[in-house]
A and B are shown apart, each in its own frame.
Chain A
Amino acid sequence: MGLAIETRNRMAKRAAAEIQSGMVVNLGIGIPSLVPNHLPRDFAVMFHAENGIIGMGPSPIHGEEDENLCNAGGFPVSLVAGGSYFDSALAFGMIRRGKVDLTILGSLQVSETGDLANWIVPGKKVPGMGGAMELAQKAKKVIVVMNQTDKHGQSKIVQKCSLPLTSTACVNMVITDMAVFLVEKNRGLVLHEVFKPHTIDEVLQLTDATVSLHDKIIFS
């Protein structure tokens, strides 16, 4: 991603603040996977994985990994008390049925109306959608954690996504390395928080979309 670890952790910490005790949460790869490090100890959250786990715990210590206990990204995890295993169809039944309260994922672009584009760059990068379409469309809340700009300095928040969409009007919150935006029903994209030392002007300059300003923008 190219971001300093402090910046990545700040973004993860901000995303973690959206998690409430008792939630079922699905985390994407990259910065979202850092989120559990920023939750209070023994916080009652059930982490869900698309391959078929609910109640994922932290990575085991080196040497104690189990190759048959991995998250959807293929990395070793553990299971908390009350957790369970099931097949992938059931894992997605949980998503479609509305049992996943929150998903936190990365993206290539997000539009000012909350459209998400994070699965393919035609002719260049073809990872595939994996479970992102179901999660984006059916999780109760969708938080995107991504850089404000791409490697060419172009805003990743856009008026209209130029890349193929993962899902339309699904994103509720965008956390970048500079700011926090909410996609609100009546107002569209609203700037709520700015990470120091950045300024509102700086953020707006690097946001290629129509943005409203919240009444009380928080500088954190």
Chain B
Amino acid sequence: MKQALNKVSSIEEVDHLFFDGMTLMYGGFGGVGSPPTLIEAIKQKGVSQLKLIGNDTGFPHIGIGKIVSLGRVSHIITSHIGSNPIAGQLMTDGRLAVEFSPQGILAERIRAGGMGLPGILSDIAIDNDIVQKGKFFCEIGEKRYMVETALTADISIVYAKKADTFGNLIFDKSARNTNPLCAMAGDITIAEVEEIVPVGSLQAEEIITPGVFVDYIIQSEGVDWKWAWQ
């Protein structure tokens, strides 16, 4: 970590953090709120055999899809790959192992990881053969639950609207989505932000992710893809 109150870094300064086989957690939902500059840097570095954790696989050329589509990912824990047909093809070909987790449970597993909890108890899809496979069960009162394990990652990459130099983050509308959760669950968290401001510029009441969860701050170069609806 850089000095406590100034975590602002260049892409070159974080580039060494990415390695083959790393577990990479990424914020974003259908590409919205995924960090474009960091994704491009990881793509450029050419690391492979990545183990991803994230809501979905984006679109082929949007969000994390840019890395998935290149076949650089060996394993992913996600809730949805439908918007990226290349991910589906890789899975069918046996080149990408996909662990599907119900969307809200996935979010909660990431949150638990970030909160220092080993897992959560859930009744979502408890009678579903695919989802319950290999999981532990327990009873509380009369009700049956299964253990959904918490998720953390070597590196988390997130996207935010603003950061102060300590790494306090605020987000933009629905681009918040899984970002505050992923920010907490990385062993190292890198936040790409639209705007970096001095400490004290953000209202303490408006901060969504406290800077303690953020290790590096990168100035975003902006979205470099065309949105699916464009």
Which A residues are within 8 Å of any B CB, using their own CB? Answer: 49-53, 65-77, 79, 85-89, 91-93, 95-96, 120, 123, 125-131, 133-134, 137-138, 164-168
Closest partner residue, chain A, to B194 (CB atom): A68
Question: Which one, B105, B161, B229, contacts A74 given CB within 8 A?
Answer: B229
Stretch at the interface among B7-15, B16-24, B145-153, B168-176: B168-176
CB of A92, distance to nearest CB on chain B (Å)? 2
- Distance of A50 Cα from B80 Cα, bound (Å): 13
Binding stretch for chain A, among B38-46, B134-142, B177-185, B196-204: B177-185
Contact, CB under 8 Å: A129 / B102:
yes
Task: Name the contact of A126 in the complex, choosing from B33, B79, B88, B103 (C-beta under 8 A).
Answer: B88
| A88 in contact with B55 given A133-B125, A133-B131, A134-B105 (CB within 8 Å) | yes
B181 close to A133 (CB less than 8 A)? no
- Known contacts A51-B32, A51-B177, A87-B107; is-contact A128 B125 (Cβ 8 Å): no
Q: Give CA–CA (A65, B32) in the complex, Å.
A: 13
Cβ of B174 and Cβ of A125 under 8 Å apart? no
List of B residues within 8 angstroms of A89 by Cβ = 104, 107-108, 110-111, 178, 181
Q: Quick check: A88 and B181 within 8 Å, CB to CB?
A: yes
Q: Residues of B contacting A123 with CB < 8 Å?
A: 92
Q: Is there an interface contact between B177 and A87, defined as CB atoms closer than 8 Å?
A: yes
Interface residues of B toward A: which range? 35 or more
* Chain A-chain B contacts (Cβ-Cβ < 8 Å), number: 154
Q: Give Cα A181–Cα B31 distance, bound, in whole angstroms.
A: 37
> B55 and A73: CB pair below 8 A?
no
**A127 and B82 contact, Cβ closer than 8 Å, known pairs A87-B177, A87-B178, A137-B124:** yes
CB within 8 A of B228: which of A50, A52, A74, A127?
Answer: A74
Cα-based distance from A131 to B108 in the complex (angstroms): 12
Name, among A51, A71, A168, the residue most crowded by chain B CB atoms within 10 Å (CB to CB). A51
Interface presence of B91 (CB below 8 A): yes
- List, in ascending order, chain B residues with CB within 8 A of A65's CB: 227, 229
Q: Which residue on chain A has the smallest CB distance to residue B101?
A: A129
CB neighbours (8 Å) of A52 from chain B are 29, 174, 176-177
B180 and A87 form a contact (CB under 8 A): yes
With both beta carbons as reference points, the residue of chain B lying nearest to A79 in the complex is identified as B173
Residues of A within 8 A of B81 (CB): 126-128
Which residues of the partner chain A approach B227 to less than 8 Å between Cβ atoms?
65, 67, 74, 76
**In the complex, what residue of chain A is closest to B161 when comparing beta carbons?**
A68
* Chain B, 99-145, CB within 8 A of any chain A CB: 100, 102-105, 107-108, 110-111, 123-125, 127-131
CA distance A79 to B78 in the complex (A): 27
B91 surroundings in chain A (CB, below 8 A): 126
Chain B residues, CB < 8 A from A126: 81-82, 88, 91-92, 98
Taking CB atoms and an 8 Å cut-off, the chain B residues in 196-230 that contact chain A are 208, 223, 227-229
Complex Cα gap A131–B107 (Å): 10
In the bound complex, do residue A134 and residue B103 qualify as a contact, i.e. CB atoms below 8 Å apart?
Answer: yes
Establish whether residues A127 and B80, one from each chain, have CB atoms under 8 Å apart when the complex forms: yes
Judging by beta carbons under 8 Å apart, are B125 and A137 in contact?
Answer: yes
Assembly CA distance A128 to B102 (angstroms): 8
| Cβ-neighbour of A68 out of B100, B102, B172 (below 8 A) | B172
| 8 further interface pairs, Cβ-Cβ under 8 Å (given A85-B176, A137-B123, A164-B129) | A68-B33, A70-B174, A87-B107, A89-B104, A96-B124, A129-B125, A133-B102, A137-B124
Q: Does B167 contact A (CB under 8 A)?
A: no
B56 within 8 A of A: yes
A168 to B78, CA, bound (A): 22
Q: A74-B32, A96-B104, A126-B92 are in contact. Are A133 and B128 (CB under 8 A)?
A: yes
Inter-subunit contact A70/B104 (CB<8 Å): no
| Cβ A88 vs Cβ B125 within 8 A | no
